[in-house]
Chains A and B, each alone.
Chain A
Amino acid sequence: MAASNGFPGAGRKIAFEILSHLDANVAGPRLGKLSIKGRHDVETPNFFAVTSRGVIPHLTPDVISSHTHIGGVHMALEDFVERAMGGTPPVVNCPGPSPLHTFTALPKSLPSLLAPRRTPAVSAPNGNSNSAISIFTSTGFQVLSNKSYISYVENLRPDIAISLADIPYGALPGTKRVAKMGDRTQEWLSQLINEKREEQVIFAPVLPIDYLDQSEYLNNIADEQADEVSGLALYDSNLLPDIPATTAITKLPRLSLDEPSSPRQILRQVSLGMDLFTVPFIGFATDAGIALTFRFPRPLPTGVAISNGVGALQLGVDMWPAVHATSVTPLDTSCSCYTCTSHHRAYVQHLLSAKEMLGWVLLQVHNHHILSEFFAAIRESISSGNFDADCEEFGRIYESELPEKSGQGPRVRGYHFKSEGPSEPKKNRPAWGNLGSDDQEASSKLVPDEPAAELEGKGFAEKMED
């Protein structure tokens, strides 16, 4: 028998079914299935991809559809509202029943999760107030009131909205501040619940402070709002064991916004009963040129196993070094992703070294695939009852943190655009500019920098006799 939260037919868009671990009083890993009307089902534990300005960096929507198996996406309202000061942000004006989905061309099968802030978020210089938080848009810091957040949720219709949380990013809050956090967050949640459309799905934030400092808020959810709230979003996974173990609360799906920095931290959170994750380290690895290669609990028989020299295996391979330049093997021989089945290390190394955008596209596809496989293996392990032993083995086999990135990476976001002005040749001029040459983008990097002998060795040209 499965425990189920959700009321099909009662206007609710979401159902969460716990497929294992029925004993609410025992903390531990659990299997589940999150069903959202009109989207694909998400088996848990699983992850939602992190977006920037509504896109998974480097991946166009067709690539997401064809070459990833992510559970859903995490979107940040602050990525859409830089124009709010001068009028309505365009996303709000987007026609159709799911404006956020339609605006971002997100594949229809993928659930969308809207949070006020990015993960990770930039800390704001001005604090929050009783009615608003500070957010960081592409044009600078802005104030986002709970009132406008509620109206954005109403307009954008994300599949899931996380209620506004009073979190002072950056600074550790003092005692007085901590006391306010729970109160404000509770107030904002109550307002959202009162004003939202009935079918809007809400996750309640759990704050990154001690349980006792927010117990009133959490108990209120357990006692009064468990039917209105469809999930919990934990900014600190350590709070999980402290959450009141009422049946209503235990049935809720739990989303981690705790930004795990390694697979080991994901495993720890899974062991506490976490269901859904955002995993910013996928993007960090991609931008650093690292191909993730870890498997759970151990490398596949055909896979890469690179030792760090002291017995533990690396979690990924830095693709920058020239050792890969002639390697026609996939990033990971056991990987079935598009990158690994269609391309090889030599190409990825070349693309990184040539600073071609496709290098990061191919790494991003592969790294998301590795995480999907990682979560699938976790579910398999829980299902077969081996999770504790498998975690122990994983911890023994693999290093605890991702490999150091080498000196060359990561790329700065938007580097292609920052260095160049919008000086485009005009249409229909009677004469051409110098279209054939690529020197505008080339001048900085496309002049040979190696010694003459090396150029000669490459067959590029020969040294001249004097």
Chain B
Amino acid sequence: MTPITPMPSALAFELVARCSTTKARAAILTLPHGPVQLPLFMPVATQASLKGLTPQQLEETGCRLCLNNTYHLGLKPGQEVLEKVGGAHKLQGWKHNILTDSGGFQMVSLLKLANITEEGVRFLSPHDGTPMLLTPEHSIALQNTIGSDIIMQLDDVLVTTSPDTKRMREAMERSVRWLDRCIAAHANPTKQNLFCIIQGGLDLQMRTECCKEMVARNTPGIAIGGLSGGEAKADYCRVVNTCTGLLPEMKPRYVMGIGYPEDLVVSVALGADMFDCVWPTRTARFGNAITKHGVLNLRHARYANDFGPVEEGCGCVCCRTGDGGLGITKAFVHHVAAKETVGAHLLTMHNVWYQLALMRSVRQSIIEDRFPAFLKNFFSDLHGGDKSKYPEWAVEALKNVGVDLME
């Protein structure tokens, strides 16, 4: 094992409150481009833009930390342009924080011919078939050029549902070795925070080993990876619960690829702090509005004459009336959805606001130590008060951290 040296960090983590029942926490994470409040949802601005929103509009949703995807930025505009322009913040005119992934996950899922060796991710250039290689060193160099506030290690990603235990162990152990290469390659540890990514599939023993190895590397933050890939949610919850139990209290914990509201609130109860997902913004393009009573598809004819706001009581710029609010109705979104991009922009603003506001109220309830009551209200609203509709996995997972939704 590599000798352990304390790693420089470019963040400060301040624990503000702990839920007295569940494992939920409220914290302030201060990053190079300002503080963010945890728990936190991060919208995904894949190619340095969030689905038609201006950075100003994104800022107005309350967002202070968003994602860019390294794979996409590496292709367009590419490292050379990013270097000349001065990084991703300057490229997109974003004054706040950015997190980038390693690019490995997208490479594996987008390039069908990619495979993983000890050196890195091998693939054939789709242009001319030339064999190419993405290494941990490449990924870090690219993220150093992007200048994101949080950068992710390149990991050996395998779907959690893979039945191949031997391959799963190989991936977990390789991810640890790649973390060492990423740490060694990281050029700006005092300006950018490298997060490790815990692997090990659904095997709790393997996850435990990985946590131990990676925690020892002392990165400024820790991600739990390889989830949201099709596993049963009960299994997902067991993995998150196991990992958070082994992670140091004074570091942020990021579960990658999570975005459904019920997944967010349960994951917070299990002790996770940060989440990202393309779903809220992608689903906006299909005319879907996220509300506390569930997702509404506003393209449905039943909304053609619905002159109420997208969500009653919502504080987003679209739903608000008066004082700079736009007073957008479901009928109007229905009128433009799928016909003018403005329809998607409006729902994107609403959906991002919804996700951020949800996390704000989760945080407030933790601070006021009424998070269990919050959870009960949340599930009641989502399922119209009908407990028989509550998802079993959520009931089970919350019971394990002391909240009985059924009582």
Docked-complex contact B72 and A62, CB < 8 angstroms: no
Given contacts A342-B56, A358-B49, A448-B127, contact A435 B257 (CB under 8 A): yes
Chain A residues closer than 8 Å to B304, beta-carbon distance: 83, 90
Residue interface mask B227-270, A partner, CB < 8 A = 1: 01111110000000000000000000000110110100000000
Chain B residues closer than 8 Å to A57, beta-carbon distance: 340-342
Chain B nearest Cβ from A60, distance in angstroms: 5
Chain B residues closer than 8 Å to A104, beta-carbon distance: 332
How far, in whole Å, are A42 and B78 apart by their CA atoms in the complex? 46
Docked-complex contact B230 and A448, CB < 8 angstroms: no
Docked-complex contact B127 and A357, CB < 8 angstroms: no
Docked-complex contact A328 and B85, CB < 8 angstroms: yes
Chain A nearest Cβ from B92, distance in angstroms: 6
Enumerate A85-133 residues with CB–CB distance to B below 8 Å: 90-91, 93-95, 102-105
Chain B residues closer than 8 Å to A361, beta-carbon distance: 52, 54, 345
B190 at the interface (CB under 8 A from A): no
What are 17 A-B interface contacts by the 8 Å CB criterion? A53-B335, A91-B335, A93-B305, A325-B77, A342-B54, A342-B55, A354-B49, A358-B53, A360-B341, A428-B262, A435-B278, A437-B109, A446-B110, A448-B126, A459-B145, A462-B133, A463-B130
A23 at the interface (CB under 8 A from B): no
SS of A interface (majority): loop
Given contacts A105-B327, A431-B232, contact A54 B130 (CB under 8 A): no
A184 at the interface (CB under 8 A from B): no
A440, closest chain B residue (CB) = B282
Docked-complex contact A103 and B339, CB < 8 angstroms: no
How far, in whole Å, are A55 and B72 apart by their CA atoms in the complex? 31
Docked-complex contact A435 and B49, CB < 8 angstroms: no
Docked-complex contact B326 and A457, CB < 8 angstroms: no
How far, in whole Å, are A176 and B109 apart by their CA atoms in the complex? 66
Chain B nearest Cβ from A331, distance in angstroms: 13
B225, closest chain A residue (CB) = A436
Docked-complex contact A105 and B328, CB < 8 angstroms: yes
How far, in whole Å, are A102 and B277 apart by their CA atoms in the complex? 33
Docked-complex contact A52 and B340, CB < 8 angstroms: yes
Docked-complex contact B80 and A458, CB < 8 angstroms: yes
Docked-complex contact A461 and B132, CB < 8 angstroms: yes
Residue interface mask B204-234, A partner, CB < 8 A = 1: 0000000000000000000000001111110
Docked-complex contact B130 and A452, CB < 8 angstroms: yes
Number of residues from A at the complex interface, CB < 8 A: 86
A88, closest chain B residue (CB) = B305
Q: What are the 7 tightest A-B residue pairs by CB atom distance, in nearest-first order?
A: A459-B79, A452-B130, A357-B52, A458-B78, A436-B257, A326-B84, A437-B109
A92, closest chain B residue (CB) = B305
How far, in whole Å, are A358 and B50 apart by their CA atoms in the complex? 8
- Binding-face segment, B135-143, B176-184, B398-406: B135-143
Which A residues fall within an 8 A CB radius of B? 52-55, 57-63, 66, 80, 83, 90-91, 93-95, 102-105, 138, 325-326, 328, 338, 342-344, 346-347, 349-351, 353-354, 356-362, 413-414, 416-417, 422, 424-425, 427-428, 430-443, 446-452, 455-464, 466
How far, in whole Å, are A102 and B75 apart by their CA atoms in the complex? 43
B132, closest chain A residue (CB) = A461
Given contacts A53-B340, A350-B76, contact A427 B295 (CB under 8 A): yes
A421, closest chain B residue (CB) = B286
Interface centre among B75, B86, B131, B317 (most CB of A within 10 A): B75
Docked-complex contact B332 and A103, CB < 8 angstroms: yes
Chain B residues closer than 8 Å to A105, beta-carbon distance: 326-329, 332
Docked-complex contact B126 and A447, CB < 8 angstroms: yes
Partner of A424, one of B53, B75, B283, B331: B283
B78, closest chain A residue (CB) = A458
Interface centre among B55, B305, B327 (most CB of A within 10 A): B305
Docked-complex contact B285 and A430, CB < 8 angstroms: no
Enumerate B64-81 residues with CB–CB distance to A below 8 Å: 69, 71-72, 74-81
Chain A nearest Cβ from B243, distance in angstroms: 18
Chain B residues closer than 8 Å to A428, beta-carbon distance: 260, 262, 391
How far, in whole Å, are A350 and B110 apart by their CA atoms in the complex? 21
Chain A nearest Cβ from B334, distance in angstroms: 8
Given contacts A343-B93, A439-B109, contact A90 B54 (CB under 8 A): no
Docked-complex contact A60 and B85, CB < 8 angstroms: no
Which B residues fall within an 8 A CB radius of A? 46-57, 69, 71-72, 74-81, 84-86, 90-93, 105-106, 109-111, 121-123, 125-128, 130-135, 138, 141-142, 145, 228-233, 256-257, 259-260, 262, 277-279, 282-283, 285-286, 288, 294-295, 299, 304-305, 307, 317, 324, 326-329, 331-332, 334-336, 338-342, 344-346, 349, 391, 393
B234, closest chain A residue (CB) = A430
Chain A residues closer than 8 Å to B142, beta-carbon distance: 459-460
Docked-complex contact A458 and B79, CB < 8 angstroms: yes
A346, closest chain B residue (CB) = B85
Docked-complex contact B85 and A460, CB < 8 angstroms: no
Docked-complex contact A430 and B339, CB < 8 angstroms: no
A52, closest chain B residue (CB) = B340
How far, in whole Å, are A464 and B134 apart by their CA atoms in the complex? 10
How far, in whole Å, are A443 and B106 apart by their CA atoms in the complex? 11
Docked-complex contact B134 and A461, CB < 8 angstroms: yes
Given contacts A93-B305, A354-B47, contact A434 B132 (CB under 8 A): no
Partner of B85, one of A52, A102, A326, A439: A326
Chain A nearest Cβ from B364, distance in angstroms: 25
Docked-complex contact A461 and B93, CB < 8 angstroms: no
Chain A residues closer than 8 Å to B86, beta-carbon distance: 328
Docked-complex contact B344 and A416, CB < 8 angstroms: yes
A460, closest chain B residue (CB) = B74
Docked-complex contact B110 and A416, CB < 8 angstroms: no
Interface centre among A53, A55, A59, A430 (most CB of B within 10 A): A55
Chain B residues closer than 8 Å to A95, beta-carbon distance: 307
Chain A nearest Cβ from B198, distance in angstroms: 15
Chain B residues closer than 8 Å to A66, beta-carbon distance: 56
How far, in whole Å, are A415 and B203 apart by their CA atoms in the complex? 43
How far, in whole Å, are A90 and B334 apart by their CA atoms in the complex? 10
How far, in whole Å, are A442 and B110 apart by their CA atoms in the complex? 8
Docked-complex contact B229 and A461, CB < 8 angstroms: no
Chain B nearest Cβ from A430, distance in angstroms: 6
How far, in whole Å, are A428 and B233 apart by their CA atoms in the complex? 10
Docked-complex contact A435 and B277, CB < 8 angstroms: yes
Docked-complex contact A103 and B110, CB < 8 angstroms: no
Given contacts A455-B125, A459-B78, A466-B131, contact A432 B229 (CB under 8 A): yes
Docked-complex contact A432 and B54, CB < 8 angstroms: no
Chain B residues closer than 8 Å to A354, beta-carbon distance: 47-49, 72, 76
Docked-complex contact A436 and B285, CB < 8 angstroms: no
Chain B residues closer than 8 Å to A439, beta-carbon distance: 109-110
Chain A residues closer than 8 Å to B229, beta-carbon distance: 432, 434, 436
Docked-complex contact B76 and A102, CB < 8 angstroms: no
Partner of A437, one of B106, B127, B327: B106
Chain A residues closer than 8 Å to B256, beta-carbon distance: 436
Docked-complex contact A463 and B326, CB < 8 angstroms: no
Given contacts A325-B81, A417-B285, contact A448 B125 (CB under 8 A): yes
Chain B residues closer than 8 Å to A462, beta-carbon distance: 132-133, 135, 138
Docked-complex contact B231 and A447, CB < 8 angstroms: no
Partner of A447, one of B110, B122, B342: B110
Given contacts A63-B57, A90-B335, A430-B391, contact A357 B344 (CB under 8 A): yes
Docked-complex contact A53 and B331, CB < 8 angstroms: no
How far, in whole Å, are A102 and B121 apart by their CA atoms in the complex? 54
How far, in whole Å, are A432 and B134 apart by their CA atoms in the complex? 28
Docked-complex contact A463 and B54, CB < 8 angstroms: no
Partner of A347, one of B50, B57, B93, B135: B93
Chain A residues closer than 8 Å to B231, beta-carbon distance: 431-432
Docked-complex contact B133 and A461, CB < 8 angstroms: yes
B126, closest chain A residue (CB) = A447
Docked-complex contact A437 and B110, CB < 8 angstroms: yes
